[in-house]
């Protein structure tokens, strides 16, 4: 039975959205130390301002809703009084986390003794625009972690701030709640509802829990929830499936609860709450989230998987009292393992793409042939291939979002499947049931789970807990060689990553498995022998139970040299990896600039959905305007060196050829090398890069045009150090750049800073300074081609996405790239460029939403001429920073521009149409 007792009398005011709480808490000291201070979780206060742990977490995930919220939209707790059982006041204060309260006891609390506290406070609920918690615009309520609960103490206090991770760590209590709420609402709860009654202004419900952590309450205008009484448990749910009938839902719930009972054990509480709100916080990621009108899966399968996942997570959280912030992996492992087994048992032929896999044009993709359960290694490998995977034991609040929501959960479940394949499924199943039976409704640690699992098998499974769970070491094996004798096969297996875990070997004939073996203790490489039957191919990890880093070298054909060579396979659009083919992907492309016009082409590349070290990408295109071939191509190799610090090295060779004027072509060839650094804390967005490039530009010009005013061919060696720390509240990025060519050498520095203040005012600052160390280009007929530009860089390195790079009039000349001087007004010709040095400051501040005012100041210095002070100002429409912006000049060195003729030609714009760049907007919060 729980040690602590908690009694709450709470009243929800529907007008003010406040809950008035009177709480009597009896705290029993079950430790062996004297306590003078108690800590309580006040997670409702996490919404109170812009400096809480929750607000900082949102900043890391590029979410600014809480930072920009109005005071009336926020949630907070107002403590009115705190007294002991003698009605003596208790001193209390908030910790730096703000959502944890420190209470000083008036007398020491000795081991085995109890202390009674009386707390009176008001909880102001937030709008549910920040998280699922709070109230919505239809006056429905979702209350979770809404009252004070004791922080967990086991000799030291576990003080965890609310970071929207659903991982509160609190003591288990006997809790009684008398909850008063408006008359027009319907109440459901994870606690047992003992009874309810109506009165003139509302209604009151009595809730009770004997051994649960926290009271969850959902209040709705409509009666959405249905109660299903199954032989295993009583379920209260509103899981949605609009096209699935009520009878079907009932049968599915019976099937799921029977499966859970058989594979986990009996649920000990009065009923299980399974809500759509809980599902949306932790949905089935993948194509399940496509718009509902697409519906890739049958209604029954979709409903059962939604219900199964939500029910399993809620059951484990309500019955296994783990440290969810430190040991979340164990809950994830059991839940996802059982989900994998459910699909194996009831839907063994379910495809990952569902009904989409039967559509002509889709069914030929390797992705369409993947089984539903193959998504687990596939989605885990997304971060592993990016070198962003993290150990399962990583604290929940130190995981990047994709790992916290998807990859680590899938790796955990996959790990138990791996273990089951190695030691026997029945042993793992029995171990899970034994663990749940013995440790439900009690404090539990992962060591307890490890102990039970080791008792289930005679095999050594230390590798699972010491390597698979505790580290982020990759698993990667290959078949290095096969020697055939009359009756045996001698196979050399290479451990490429050195992670000493078991590996499975399959013998195949066509698509039939003839044999399966397990081998362990392969530190480097090992020769193993198996009987020779009628195998035509040997494959490591054929069933993909092991989350292996690279499966492209897992097989060996026994049919001779030519049969061992992988065949080429051309596939339209990107696909998942198929280890038995050399995949080449193709897709039509269409580019545009005013000299080439529209340039359709065919892009050929080998990049799959999962990142790979060596990538080639070529896109030959045809320019109808110039009636000639253009395009680009690159080859690159990426080598990850470590998890943090100096973590990556990139080697690349790129080339492109397009037209920069009518009948005038440029060709650019660039070998490059770069190194990248990142901090130990992977959630941090900070990155540092040191890059080296050797840009070679070759230009041919139409004979009918005037001669080149600069050398037609030139080469520039470029080195740049970049320090980039983007954030939605604080943004800081800077670089130092050096360029050396035959006729010039120069250095430049750029820094960009953005600050979103608590007043919701955003300040943008950019500083640029550049200096020529030597400059012989002043002898050219066009001496400014390599000069620093104030308002429109010449882009002699062909780095920028100009639609009309040689234009000096017309709409295309109004495109602006914020580089070098960064001015928005077209300045007088005599100081648009600097062949000696230049220093500028660009600034802007928002007036209302995306409407800003900007101002630029600077000095331009040319050789033999005194430095010139320059300035401009105007209005900026910052519709999407760095992607779509408009600039309207007002006043500058030109005078009042807004009153001058042809004002439309002075307006500047930024536009980004690159799909890769735009995709970064949506993926940045995940990785």
Report the alpha-carbon distance of residue 145 to residue 355 in Å, rounded.
40
Shared domain for 679 and 771, answered yes or no, is no
Residue 794, in any domain of the structure? yes
Residue 574, in any domain of the structure? no
Whether 912 has a pLDDT exceeding 80, the answer reads: no
pLDDT in tens, 136-163: 999 999 999 999 999 999 999 999 999 9
- What are the contacts of 445-454 at 24+ separation with CB within 8 A? 445/322, 445/323, 445/327, 446/322, 446/327, 446/329, 446/330, 449/330, 453/419, 453/428
- 278 in helix, strand or coil? helix
Report the alpha-carbon distance of residue 278 to residue 190 in Å, rounded.
12
Report the alpha-carbon distance of residue 64 to residue 726 in Å, rounded.
13
Shared domain for 246 and 264, answered yes or no, is yes
Shared domain for 486 and 616, answered yes or no, is no
Shared domain for 8 and 138, answered yes or no, is yes
Shared domain for 219 and 242, answered yes or no, is no
Which stretch of DSSP H or E encloses residue 764? strand 762-775
Which stretch of DSSP H or E encloses residue 281? helix 276-281
Residue 571, in any domain of the structure? no
Residue 639, in any domain of the structure? yes
Shared domain for 153 and 269, answered yes or no, is no
Q: What are phi and psi of 684, to 5 degrees?
A: -60, 140
Report the alpha-carbon distance of residue 659 to residue 676 in Å, rounded.
33
Q: What is the 3-state secondary structure (H, E, C) of 477-530?
A: EEEEEEEECCCEEEEEEEECCCCCCCEEEEEEECCEEEEEEEECCCCCEEEEEE
Report the alpha-carbon distance of residue 438 to residue 455 in Å, rounded.
14
Q: What are phi and psi of 593, to 5 degrees?
A: -145, 165
Domain extent, residue 617, equals 581-702+716-725
pLDDT in tens, 383-419: 999 999 999 999 999 999 999 999 999 999 999 999 9
Taking a C-beta distance cutoff of 8 angstroms, is the pair 304, 252 a contact?
yes
Shared domain for 466 and 494, answered yes or no, is no
Q: What's 45's domain CATH number?
A: 2.60.40.1730
Shared domain for 36 and 51, answered yes or no, is yes
Q: What's 522's domain CATH number?
A: 2.60.40.10
Report the alpha-carbon distance of residue 108 to residue 133 in Å, rounded.
36
Shared domain for 177 and 274, answered yes or no, is no
Report the alpha-carbon distance of residue 602 to residue 618 in Å, rounded.
8
- 901 in helix, strand or coil? coil
Q: Which residue has the tokens 């993948």?
A: 286
Nearest to 198 by CA among 208, 186, 216: 186
| Residue 467 DSSP class | I
Residue 572, in any domain of the structure? no
Residue 628: pLDDT band with limits 50, 70, 90: very high
Please report the pLDDT score of residue 917 as a whole number: 57
Residue 678, in any domain of the structure? yes
Report the alpha-carbon distance of residue 597 to residue 803 in Å, rounded.
10
Q: Pick the last residue of a domain from 191, 224, 257.
A: 224
Q: Pick the last residue of a domain from 408, 438, 472.
A: 472
- 139 in helix, strand or coil? coil
Shared domain for 809 and 841, answered yes or no, is yes
Residue 247: exposed, middle, or buried by beta-carbon count in 10 A (0-12, 13-18, 19+)? exposed
Question: What is the arrangement of strands in the sheet containing 537-540, beginning at the earlier edge strand?
Answer: 512-519, 503-509, 537-540, 555-557
Q: What's 428's domain CATH number?
A: 1.10.390.10
Please report the pLDDT score of residue 762 as a whole number: 87
Q: Pick the last residue of a domain from 472, 505, 536.
A: 472
Shared domain for 650 and 783, answered yes or no, is no
Average pLDDT over every residue of 629-640: 96
Please report the pLDDT score of residue 919 as a whole number: 59
Number of domains in the chain: 5
pLDDT in tens, 884-895: 899 999 999 999
Residue 709, in any domain of the structure? no
Cβ within 8 Å of residue 256, ≥6 positions away? 304, 307, 308, 311, 342
Residue 610, in any domain of the structure? yes
- Please state, rounded to an integer, the average pLDDT across all residues of the chain: 91
Report the alpha-carbon distance of residue 740 to residue 747 in Å, rounded.
9
Shared domain for 111 and 25, answered yes or no, is yes
CA angle 726–732–737, rounded 5-degree value: 110
pLDDT in tens, 777-806: 877 767 888 999 999 999 999 999 888 888
């Amino acid at each position: 039975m729980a040690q602590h007792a908690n009694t709450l009398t709470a009243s929800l005011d529907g007008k003010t959205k406040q809950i008035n709480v009177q709480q009597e808490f009896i705290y029993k000291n079950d430790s062996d130390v004297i306590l003078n201070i108690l800590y309580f979780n006040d997670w409702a206060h996490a919404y109170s301002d812009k400096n809480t742990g929750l607000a900082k977490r949102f900043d890391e995930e590029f979410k600014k809703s809480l930072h920009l919220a109005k005071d009336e939209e926020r949630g907070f707790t107002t403590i009115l009084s705190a007294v002991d059982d003698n009605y003596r006041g208790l001193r209390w204060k908030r910790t730096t986390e703000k959502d944890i309260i420190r209470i000083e006891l008036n007398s020491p609390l000795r081991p085995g003794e109890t202390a009674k506290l009386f707390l009176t406070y008001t909880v102001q609920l937030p709008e549910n625009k920040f998280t699922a918690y709070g109230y919505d615009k239809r006056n429905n309520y979702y209350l979770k972690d809404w009252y004070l609960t004791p922080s967990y103490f086991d000799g030291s206090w576990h003080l965890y701030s609310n970071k929207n991770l659903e991982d509160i760590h609190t003591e288990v209590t006997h809790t009684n709640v008398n909850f008063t709420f408006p008359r027009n609402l319907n109440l459901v709860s994870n606690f047992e509802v003992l009874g309810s009654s109506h009165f003139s202004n509302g209604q009151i419900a009595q809730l009770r829990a004997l051994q649960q952590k926290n009271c969850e309450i959902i209040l709705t205008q409509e009666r959405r929830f249905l109660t299903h009484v199954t032989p295993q448990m009583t379920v209260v749910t509103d899981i949605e499936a609009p096209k699935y009938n009520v009878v079907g839902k009932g049968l599915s719930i019976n099937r799921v609860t029977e499966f859970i009972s058989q594979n986990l054990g009996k649920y000990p509480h009065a009923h299980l709450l399974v809500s759509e709100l809980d599902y949306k916080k932790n949905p089935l990621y993948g194509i399940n989230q496509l718009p509902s009108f697409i519906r890739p899966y049958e209604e029954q399968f979709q409903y059962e998987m939604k219900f199964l996942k939500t029910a399993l997570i809620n059951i484990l959280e309500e019955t296994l009292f783990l440290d969810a912030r430190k040991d979340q992996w164990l809950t994830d492992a059991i839940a996802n393992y059982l989900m994998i087994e459910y699909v194996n048992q009831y839907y063994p032929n379910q495809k990952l793409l569902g009904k989409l896999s039967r559509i002509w044009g889709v069914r030929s993709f390797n992705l369409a042939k993947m089984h539903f359960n193959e998504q687990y290694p596939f989605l885990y490998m997304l971060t592993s291939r990016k070198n962003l995977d993290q150990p399962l034991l990583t604290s929940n609040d130190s995981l990047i979002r994709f790992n916290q929501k998807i990859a680590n959960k899938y790796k955990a479940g996959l790990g138990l499947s791996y273990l089951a394949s190695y030691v026997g499924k029945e042993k793992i199943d029995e171990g899970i049931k034994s663990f749940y039976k013995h440790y439900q409704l009690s404090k539990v640690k992962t060591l307890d789970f490890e102990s039970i699992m080791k008792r289930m098998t005679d095999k050594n499974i230390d590798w699972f807990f010491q390597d698979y769970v505790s580290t982020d070491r990759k698993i990667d094996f290959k078949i290095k060689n096969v020697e055939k004798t009359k009756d045996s096969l001698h196979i050399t297996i290479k451990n490429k990553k050195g992670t000493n875990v078991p590996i499975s070997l399959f013998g195949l004939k066509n698509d039939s498995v003839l044999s399966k073996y397990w081998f362990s203790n392969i530190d480097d490489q090992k020769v193993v022998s198996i009987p020779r039957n009628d195998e035509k191919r040997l494959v490591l990890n054929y069933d993909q139970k092991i989350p292996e880093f690279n499966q492209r070298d897992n097989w060996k054909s026994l049919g001779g040299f030519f049969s061992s060579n992988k065949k080429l396979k051309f596939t339209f659009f990107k696909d998942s990896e198929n280890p038995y083919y050399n995949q080449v992907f193709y897709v039509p492309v269409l580019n545009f600039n005013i000299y080439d016009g529209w340039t359709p082409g065919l892009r050929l590349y080998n990049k799959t959905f999962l990142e790979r070290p060596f990538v080639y990408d070529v896109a030959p295109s045809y320019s109808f305007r110039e009636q000639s071939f253009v395009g680009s191509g690159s080859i690159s190799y990426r080598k990850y060196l470590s998890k943090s610090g100096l973590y990556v090295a990139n080697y690349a060779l790129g080339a492109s050829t397009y037209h920069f004027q009518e009948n005038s072509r440029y060709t650019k060839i660039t070998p490059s090398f770069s190194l990248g650094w990142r901090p130990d804390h992977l959630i941090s967005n900070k990155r540092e890069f040191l890059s080296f490039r050797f840009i070679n530009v070759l230009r041919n010009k139409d004979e009918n045009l005037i001669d080149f005013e600069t050398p037609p061919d030139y080469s520039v060696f470029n080195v740049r150090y970049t320090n980039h720390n983007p954030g939605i509240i604080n943004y800081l990025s800077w670089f130092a750049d050096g360029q050396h060519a035959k006729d010039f050498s120069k250095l430049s520095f750029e820094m960009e800073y953005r600050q979103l203040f608590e007043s919701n005012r955003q300040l943008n600052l950019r500083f640029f300074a550049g200096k020529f160390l030597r400059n012989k280009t002043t002898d050219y007929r066009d001496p400014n081609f390599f000069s620093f530009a104030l308002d429109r860089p010449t882009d002699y390195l062909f780095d920028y996405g100009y639609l009309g790079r040689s234009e000096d009039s017309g709409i295309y000349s109004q495109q602006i790239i914020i580089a070098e001087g960064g001015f928005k007004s077209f300045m007088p010709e005599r100081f648009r460029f600097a062949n000696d040095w230049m220093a500028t400051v660009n600034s802007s501040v928002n007036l209302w939403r995306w409407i800003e005012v900007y101002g630029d100041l600077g000095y331009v210095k040319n050789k033999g001429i005194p430095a010139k002070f320059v300035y401009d100002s105007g209005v900026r429409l910052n519709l999407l920073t760095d992607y779509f912006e408009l600039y309207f000049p007002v006043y500058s060195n030109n005078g009042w521009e807004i009153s001058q003729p042809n004002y439309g030609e002075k307006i500047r714009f930024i536009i980004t149409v690159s799909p890769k760049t735009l995709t970064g907007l949506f993926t940045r919060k995940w990785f």
